[in-house]
Each structure stands twice: as structure tokens, then as C-alpha cells.
């Protein structure tokens, strides 16, 4: 879940790392640290908080030296503290490491390191001491290979050897990329970390390591054999500017939804047309399709079931974290993993499981060149651009748009023209109404959202946003299930948001059940309620109700003064179990 970055070259390493850490901030913001190899040895600066806060306090970009490592942490093993912040240093002060992942047998490794002084409560620190101890016996490179062979779990590690001004980057199960420049090499958890400096990248595979010195690199396998790897050209849509009407990326990214949909639609007609056709052929030629994802992407998978079953495709959805317990997979199955980052650990494990069972993999991702994409037989990028806020907004709507287009190509009902323009008008004509509603319900402890059919996953998605951004207990459910338990929690004034795409009598009946208990019924519908919603059919309504739900969540959180882009305890990319 953490973000790691490194540099080896003629530039001032700390300045490069400072920029890269700001790009990786979405991966974790519990603590930040940098280590640079200087003439006097290791210069290490780290502290609790996000990059901007720690940078202002410690001057992370003001460290001399051309070789360094950086880290932004999302705490998994060990509390949030300065001692647990990376980089971690060996006892002799020669080595520093940054790590993303979990070393599952760290306690066993620690027991073998008698005499080492551990300063933190993390699993990561054992790496620095292990390398120090083994390097005395067989040299640093051999020590790296021994660690890779002995360590259990997942890891992406960059080791800084301050004595030799060298870096060693190695991985298993967690992502790691090299950026290749002119007499300089960058390392990052993903290519966003260094895409300002170079558009050339190499993505390390498991059990591989890179040796970096004097701005050059050598790539080797677990046996120490030199590898030749083709350099890939990368092209990322990236921006750090927030919307002038707001101080938050979430607001900016909601407002970008129409543009993101148009960008995806254009790519499906041009450069990704062959990918779309290949994807559709795989769906047609298999007996069953299983969609999987985590969080927001799982909600997209649930909607994908409706779109695909409409055209006669046997489609199922299983949440990635429980995939092995519920997924029935064989060679007549195509797995459709959906992931914004393409690095979600649970999704990657579902892919590996399905591969063993003989299934084909056709994935939907946003971040180019991700691990999910590279493990797939077919892939389509949703082209939403970088999403900095932890909450997925434009990536979710682009996932839905792509799933609808896949179904359309197989004979499904068309979405209709100009959904992006319809969303723009929706935002313009309803934002003040949303602001008023946010003031009305921001103090509530519980909010319920009910839907039916395609709007049930939307209800779940809106509830997720209310929980993660507004810190309100929210529950999205099928309207018909309201009376089976949850209605007991509805009392006078309890907000219940109902998603009514076409005056559905069943949902209307559920609304009346709420009204009979004096709950506060809030209708999102083209046929009733307080909002100006055009009639677009159920598929169009899925987009419109989703966008209004996102905007409501934003304004509630904004009114409460919450850290909208970086909610507590959460991170954008989940690379641990």
C-alpha cells in the first residue's frame, strides 16, 4: 500500500524524490521519509504526516547527493510513529531500505539476527539488518538474492548502499518499475512517480532485481543471470491542479466525469477499437464470465452482470477478497478483473487462481502498464486519467461506460447519445440543491440508500462514498430488503435516499414504508423529488444518480471540514491483503 521511489544519477536526488513522493502521496500519508547517500554517510529525514507537511518541516528536497530513496507510508504493520516511518537503517549505518508489502515471516528472520538493535515495530526493518548481516558473509548482491529466496509474503524493496553509492531494487508480489533516462535511473511503485522525467520504463517481474550505479542499471534474475528487457514507452495523463471552485481533487474529478467519458469513447472508436473487439470475442466464446474487483470496482462488476445478462451472457460477480471461496472457474470461463490501479493484491490473487484453473483473463484497468494489465490475455484501459483523491469517482463512471459499451457490441440496449453533456447539465442545474441537502443531513449518524436492479449497486456505491469521505454510517441495499430488518432502524428524521429511475412501483412502495415511520425520504428520480433529472432510461439514470450521490458526499464532507482527498485510515492503492 505504501509508495516507494528512488533516484540514481547526476541530479540532486532529494529534489527528484521530493517531486516523486508528491505523486505517490495517494498510496499512503501516515508518514514520509527520505535517505540520501552523502559524503558524510547517510542523511535520513522522516516524520509523521503527509509529504507537504513533512517537507515544510524537514526540507526533504535540500539533501546533497545523487543517490537516494524515498517512502510514503500507509501503516499495516506497526503503529503510525516516527520510529516506524521509512527508511529503515542497518545497525552500522551503511544500508537504508524502503519497502512496500508485508514480510510474513519477519519474526523468524528477526530471531536469526541476534545482536541487531531494532528501533521500530515494523516487519520492514528486518530487511536492513538481514542485508547487513548477510553482506558481511557473501557480499551485498548475494545478500539480496538470499533475502528474496528466504522472505515470505510480498515485497517491493529498494536498498541504498551508502558505502558504494548504489541502489538495489527487488520485488515479489508488489509492483516496482524503473524509469530509464539519459545517464540516470529512477525507481517507483508505479511509473507516475517518474513520468515527469522520462517516458521510458521497465517493469520488474517477481524474483528479479536491478543494480543501479552511476546512472546505469543491470537487471538480473534470482540466480544472478543478467536479463535483457524491452523498454516500454509510457504516456500518462497527469495533473496536480485542483478545480478553481474547490480546494479538493474529489470535486475536480467529479467535474471531469463528462470529459473522461468522452476520452474513453473516443479511444474505443480509434486506438482501442481492436482491444474492444478482442474483449467482446472472448466474452462471446466462453460459457461463463466472472467479474471481480474490490470496493468501488466490485460495484462496477455488479452492474456489469446486468449489462451482460441482458445480451444472454452468463455473468457472475465475486468480490476479489473472497474469490477463492466463491468463484467456480474452469477453462470455459473468462475472468474480468476490474481495478483502477491494476495493483490490488486481492485482484491479482484472483487472476493467479483463475490462471491455474485454465481460465482466460480480460481485464479493465485505468493505470497503464499495471500488473493486472500485464497478467491479462486482453485489456482495455478506461482512460480516466490520474485520480488523486482516494475516493473513485470518474474511474467508476468510466468503468460503467466501458461495461455498457461491451454489452452494446454484443447486442445490448444502447445507452443513448451525449450522456456526457447530460451529466454536465445535471451538475449545473442541481449543485445548489445538493448543497442544500448536504446541510440538511450532514449531522445525521445513519443514512440508507435503496435501489432495485441496476440501481442497487449504485446505492451500494453511494453508501461507500458516504462512509469513506463523509464518515457517516451508510448502507446501500435492495429496496425490497428494507423491511427485513433495516426498517427497525428507521425513525423520525432518518434519511433514506431512494433511487427511482422510472417511477418503479416497487421502490415507491418502499418509500411509503419509510414515510409511515416518519423517515426523511429523499427521492432521486426524473419523475419525482427535488432534483432536475432528465429522462434517460435506466442506463442513463445509473450515471446521473451516481454523479449526484458523489456530489452529495463531497458537500457533506466539505461542510464538516473533513480531509476529503485523504480520508483517515484509507489509501488509494491496496497492494496488501
Alpha helices in 72-196 (DSSP H): 106-111, 125-138, 140-150
- 116 a catalytic residue: no
Put residue 102 in one of left, alpha, beta given phi > 0 → left and psi -120 to 50 → alpha. Answer: beta
Please report, in tens digits, the pLDDT of each residue of the chain (577 residues total). Answer: 689 999 999 999 999 999 999 888 878 888 999 999 988 889 999 999 888 888 889 999 999 999 999 999 988 777 889 999 999 999 999 999 999 999 999 989 988 888 888 999 899 999 999 999 999 989 999 999 999 999 999 899 999 999 999 999 999 988 999 999 999 999 999 888 999 899 999 999 999 999 999 999 999 999 999 999 999 988 765 555 555 566 899 999 999 999 999 999 999 999 999 999 999 999 998 999 999 999 999 999 999 999 999 999 999 999 999 998 876 899 999 999 999 999 998 999 999 999 999 999 999 999 888 999 999 999 999 999 889 899 999 999 999 999 999 999 999 888 877 999 999 999 999 999 999 999 999 999 999 999 999 999 999 999 999 999 999 999 999 988 888 988 888 999 999 999 999 876 688 888 888 888 888 999 999 988 899 999 999 999 999 999 999 999 999 999 999 999 989 888 666 655 5
CA 409/CA 405 separation, integer angstroms: 6
Alpha carbon dihedral 397, 401, 404, 406, in 10-degree steps, equals: -130
- For residues 363 and 379, the answer to whether their CB atoms sit within 8 Å is yes
pLDDT recorded at residue 25: 82
Furthest CA-CA distance within the chain: 77
How many CA atoms, within 13 angstroms, populate the side-chain half-sphere of residue 85?
Answer: 23
CA 145/CA 411 separation, integer angstroms: 53
Q: Which is it for strands 495-499 and 520-524: parallel, antiparallel or unpaired?
A: parallel
**Catalytic member of 252, 394, 465, 572:** 572
DSSP class of residue 230 equals P
pLDDT recorded at residue 34: 96
CA 133/CA 156 separation, integer angstroms: 20
Q: Where are the beta strands (DSSP E) in 206-322?
A: 208-213, 216-220, 226-227, 232-233, 288-293, 315-319
Alpha carbon dihedral 496, 402, 420, 539, in 10-degree steps, equals: -50
Domains identified in the chain and CATH numbers: 3-233 (3.60.20.10), 242-414 (3.40.50.10490), 431-571 (3.40.50.10490)
Give the neighbor-by-neighbor strand order of the sheet with 200-203. 41-48, 31-38, 67-73, 3-8, 185-188, 177-180, 200-203, 232-233
Residues in a beta bridge with 361: 335
Nearest to 445 by CA among 472, 468, 418, 422: 472
- 573 a catalytic residue: no
pLDDT recorded at residue 112: 87
**Catalytic member of 2, 8, 195, 354:** 2
CA 143/CA 134 separation, integer angstroms: 5
Amino acid at each position: 500500500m505504501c509508495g516507494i521511489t528512488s533516484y540514481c544519477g547526476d541530479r540532486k536526488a532529494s529534489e527528484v524524490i521530493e517531486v516523486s513522493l508528491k505523486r505517490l502521496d495517494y498510496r499512503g500519508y501516515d508518514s514520509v521519509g527520505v535517505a540520501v547517500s552523502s559524503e558524510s554517510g547517510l542523511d535520513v529525514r522522516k516524520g509523521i504526516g503527509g509529504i507537504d507537511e513533512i517537507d515544510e518541516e524537514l526540507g526533504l528536497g535540500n539533501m546533497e547527493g545523487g543517490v537516494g530513496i524515498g517512502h510514503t507510508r500507509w501503516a499495516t504493520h506497526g503503529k503510525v510513529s516516527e520510529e516506524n516511518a521509512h527508511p529503515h537503517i542497518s545497525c552500522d549505518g551503511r544500508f537504508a531500505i524502503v519497502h512496500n508489502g508485508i514480510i510474513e515471516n519477519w519474526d523468524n528472520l528477526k530471531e536469526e539476527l541476534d545482536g541487531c538493535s531494532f528501533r521500530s515495530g515494523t516487519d520492514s526493518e528486518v530487511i536492513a539488518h538481514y542485508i547487513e548481516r548477510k553482506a558481511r558473509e557473501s557480499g551485498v548482491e548475494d545478500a539480496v538474492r538470499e533475502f528474496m529466496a528466504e522472505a515470505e509474503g510480498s515485497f517491493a524493496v529498494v536498498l541504498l548502499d551508502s558505502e558504494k553509492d548504489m541502489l538495489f531494487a527487488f520485488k515479489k508480489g508488489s509492483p516496482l518499475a524503473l524509469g530509464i533516462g539519459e545517464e540516470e535511473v529512477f525507481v517507483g511503485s508505479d511509473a507516475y512517480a517518474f513520468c515527469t522525467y522520462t517516458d521510458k520504463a521497465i517493469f520488474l517481474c517477481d524474483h528479479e532485481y536491478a543494480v543501479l550505479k552511476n546512472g546505469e542499471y543491470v537487471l538480473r534474475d534470482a540466480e544472478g543471470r543478467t536479463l535483457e528487457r524491452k523498454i516500454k514507452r509510457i504516456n500518462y495523463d497527469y495533473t496536480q491542479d485542483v478545480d478553481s471552485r474547490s480546494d479538493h481533487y474529489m470535486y475536480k474529478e467529479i467535474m471531469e466525469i463528462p470529459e473522461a467519458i468522452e476520452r474513453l469513447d473516443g479511444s474505443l472508436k480509434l486506438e482501442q477499437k481492436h482491444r474492444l473487439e478482442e474483449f467482446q470475442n472472448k466474452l462471446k466464446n466462453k460459457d461463463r464470465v466472472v467479474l471481480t474487483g474490490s470496493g468501488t470496482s466490485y460495484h462496477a462488476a455488479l452492474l456489469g452482470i446486468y449489462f451482460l445478462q441482458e445480451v444472454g451472457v452468463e455473468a457472475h460477480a465475486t468480490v476479489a477478497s473472497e474469490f477463492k471461496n466463491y468463484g467456480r472457474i474452469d477453462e470455459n470461463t473468462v475472468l474480468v478483473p476490474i481495478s483502477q490501479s491494476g495493483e490490488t493484491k486481492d485482484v491479482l490473487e484472483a487472476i493467479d487462481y483463475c490462471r491455474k484453473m485454465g481460465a482466460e483473463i480480460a481485464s479493465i484497468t485505468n493505470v497503464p502498464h499495471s500488473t493486472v494489465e500485464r497478467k491479462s490475455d486482453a485489456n482495455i484501459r478506461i482512460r480516466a486519467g490520474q485520480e488523486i483523491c482516494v475516493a473513485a469517482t470518474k474511474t467508476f463512471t468510466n468503468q460503467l461506460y466501458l461495461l455498457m459499451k461491451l454489452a452494446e457490441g454484443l447486442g445490448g440496449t444502447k445507452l443513448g447519445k451525449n450522456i456526457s453533456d447530460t451529466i454536465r447539465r445535471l451538475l449545473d442545474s442541481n449543485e445548489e440543491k445538493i448543497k442544500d441537502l448536504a446541510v440538511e443531513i450532514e449531522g445525521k449518524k445513519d443514512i440508507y440508500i435503496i435501489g432495485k436492479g441496476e440501481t442497487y449497486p449504485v446505492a451500494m456505491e453511494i453508501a461507500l462514498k458516504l462512509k469513506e469521505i463523509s464518515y457517516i454510517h451508510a448502507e446501500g441495499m435492495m429496496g425490497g430488503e428494507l423491511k427485513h430488518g433495516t426498517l427497525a432502524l428507521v425513525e423520525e428524521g432518518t434519511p433514506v435516499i431512494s433511487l427511482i429511475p422510472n417511477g418503479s412501483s416497487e421502490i415507491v412502495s418502499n418509500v411509503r414504508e419509510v414515510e409511515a415511520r416518519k423517515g426523511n425520504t429523499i427521492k432521486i428520480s426524473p419523475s419525482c423529488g427535488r432534483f432536475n433529472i432528465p429522462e434517460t432510461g435506466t442506463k442513463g439514470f445509473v450515471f446521473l444518480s451516481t454523479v449526484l450521490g458523489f456530489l452529495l458526499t463531497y458537500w457533506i464532507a466539505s461542510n464538516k471540514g473533513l480531509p476529503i482527498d485523504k480520508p483517515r485510515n484509507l489509501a488509494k492503492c491496496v497492494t496488501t491483503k
